[in-house]
Amino acid sequence: MTATPARLPARFARLVKIEHTVFALPFAYVGAFLAVGGTPTAHDLLWITLAMVGARSLAMALNRLIDRGIDARNPRTAGREIPSGQLSIAQVVLFCAASLALFLAAVWQLDPLVHRLWPIPVAGFVVYPYLKRVTWLCHLWLGAVDGLAPVGAWVAITGKLPWQAWVLGAAVALWVAGFDFFYALFDLDVDRREGLHSIATEFGVRGAFTGARLAHLATVACLVAAGLGLSVGALYWIGVAAVAGLLAYEHSLVRPDDLRRLDTAFFTMNGVISVVFAVFVILDQAT
């Protein structure tokens, strides 16, 4: 079964989990606003947004394409668009090409430095799906790739990469890695059967919890460090406090012996965290 043209947009949106754009896009805006210490131009915000949409769509589609065999053998993911036949491999390849084209078109509207740096995130997208076959450090790689969102937005506007941009990127990388430690718990049994690597298969459920706690403590520390190195106001610090409180609440939702609210902890809370922090930073820098 393949998709009819009328159904393709909805199926591609599901393929790339378009609603999860809320995880990374707000942090790209954070990087943009902090880079200029105020409000970026509409031109820069538009092309940063389109670059993020293209990059994230490419990353997710590549992941689904490369992992289609594993997904087909996992009851949780067997209904995804490629293994279930809703989208063909050829259709997804064309979607990847279109996403890459959008990304590159947007990149070429931004600072000349990013014209040379664009292969870095694309290489990260390609490597990530294969890492789970080799090492549990795949979670940290995913975090590092997503951590490029604020770093990329910063350099796309200013052509510079100060240490504050890298620390902000580290905060995002650790935040993403931490909640990906939780996400690994969804497929623990399947990953063991398939010989895949995750923090949960390597260190058990409690190891995944410990890793997530440490990663999220480090996230808050990085946000504090970035703020100390920038000209920020009270709203930025309220945003940091909100992130710390929301992360604490996220961790209170699940325990090693009770994963019933794992969906809420992973999907809902992390979307709230990114949006809330971005709103406080934008208000802080724009006023």
The predicted structure's pLDDT at residue 192: 94
> Residue 248 sits in which domain range?
5-286
150, 25 contact by CB (below 8 A): no
Domains held by the chain: number: 1
Q: Measured between alpha carbons, how far is 105 from 154 in angstroms, rounded to an integer?
A: 18
CATH of the domain at 73: 1.10.357.140
Please give the model's pTM, rounded to 2 decimal places.
0.93
Q: 9 or 208: which carries more pLDDT confidence?
A: 208
Q: Which of 189, 209, 190 is nearest to 199 (CA)?
A: 209
Handedness of CA 280, 168, 50, 99 (dihedral sign): negative
For tokens 């999220």, the residue is 216
Three-class DSSP category at 258: strand
137-195, pLDDT tens digit by residue? Answer: 999 999 999 999 999 999 999 999 999 999 999 999 999 999 899 889 988 999 999 99
- Rounded to an integer, what distance in angstroms lies between the CA atom of residue 257 and that of residue 263? 15
To the nearest 10°, the Cα dihedral for 116, 149, 155, 36?
160
